[in-house]
């Protein structure tokens, strides 16, 4: 049986509950913005010493990646990806330590305008083998053949003080990939809109070698 432990706590997700506290937490950071290749990249230096980077698609204003800088006893400092695909790893195992088997189940998370989605690749079992349930502290994935188990946390819900609602949860399976979808509740949509509004006020760093880079961020 492949048992995957709960995800390590995401930095910033254990803040006092309510979206206003999360927004205040981000507002208190020293922030810089870079606009490049159709992406708005925002770097946060937070007052508690944490660092976070967000990347937004300029056309859709949808978050493509959120990652936190963390310390690792084996690899030193690294980036823990909360949203988006994992960062590419080097082939030299001495530079990254022990690597996971490429055929092992791999979890990634993405955001759309209306949903939070997770993809677990390398799961070859039929759809009726999977059980995806809502718990107070997140989502549980298990298989009836006892080959796979995972707990998934949902920081977006923690930050607005909501428990996971099973009526907003669905899943499908295709191409050896389990796709889990959670419809964003209104409180999450409201929180995201406020964060985006704040992000758009950050003045971008100019890029001399890119002509006509879209200046979407205005001085705060």
Q: pTM of the prediction?
A: 0.80
**DSSP codes, 76-131:** EEEEEEEEBSPPPPPS-HHHH-SPPPTTS-EEEEEE-SSEEEEEEES--S-GGGEE
DSSP classification of residue 186: H
- Which residues share a beta bridge with 32? 43
pLDDT of residue 213: 43
Contact 124/81 with Cβ under 8 angstroms? Answer: no
91 phi-psi bin (left φ>0, alpha ψ -120 to 50, beta other)? alpha
**Domains of the chain, first to last:** 19-85+104-201 (2.60.40.790)
Q: pLDDT digits over 156-194, tens only?
A: 999 999 999 999 999 999 999 999 999 999 999 999 999
pLDDT of residue 72: 67
Q: pLDDT digits over 130-158, tens only?
A: 999 999 889 999 999 999 999 999 999 99
pLDDT in tens, the chain (220 residues): 544 443 444 555 555 455 678 999 999 999 999 999 999 999 999 999 999 999 999 999 999 999 999 876 666 778 999 999 877 654 444 444 445 557 899 999 999 999 999 999 999 999 999 999 999 889 999 999 999 999 999 999 999 999 999 999 999 999 999 999 999 999 999 999 999 999 999 988 865 544 444 455 554 4
């Amino acid at each position: 049986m492949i048992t995957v432990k709960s995800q390590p706590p995401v930095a910033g997700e254990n803040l006092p509950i309510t979206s206003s506290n999360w927004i205040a937490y981000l507002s208190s950071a020293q922030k810089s913005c870079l606009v490049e290749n159709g992406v708005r990249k925002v770097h946060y230096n937070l007052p508690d010493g944490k660092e976070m980077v967000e990347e937004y698609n300029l056309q859709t204003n949808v978050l493509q990646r959120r990652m936190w800088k963390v310390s690792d006893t084996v690899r030193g400092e690294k980036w823990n990806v909360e949203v988006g695909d994992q960062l590419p790893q080097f082939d030299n195992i001495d530079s990254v330590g022990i690597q996971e088997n490429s055929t092992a189940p791999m979890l990634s998370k993405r955001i759309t305008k209306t949903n939070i989605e997770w993809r677990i690749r390398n799961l070859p079992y039929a759809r009726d083998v999977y059980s995806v349930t809502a718990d107070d502290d997140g989502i549980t994935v298990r298989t009836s053949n006892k080959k796979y188990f995972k707990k998934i946390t949902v920081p977006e819900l923690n930050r607005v003080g909501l428990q996971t609602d099973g009526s907003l949860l669905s899943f499908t399976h295709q191409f050896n990939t389990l796709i889990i979808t959670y419809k964003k509740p209104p409180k999450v949509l409201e929180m995201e809109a406020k964060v985006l509004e704040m992000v758009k006020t950050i003045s971008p760093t100019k890029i001399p070698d890119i002509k006509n880079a879209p200046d979407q961020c205005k001085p705060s």
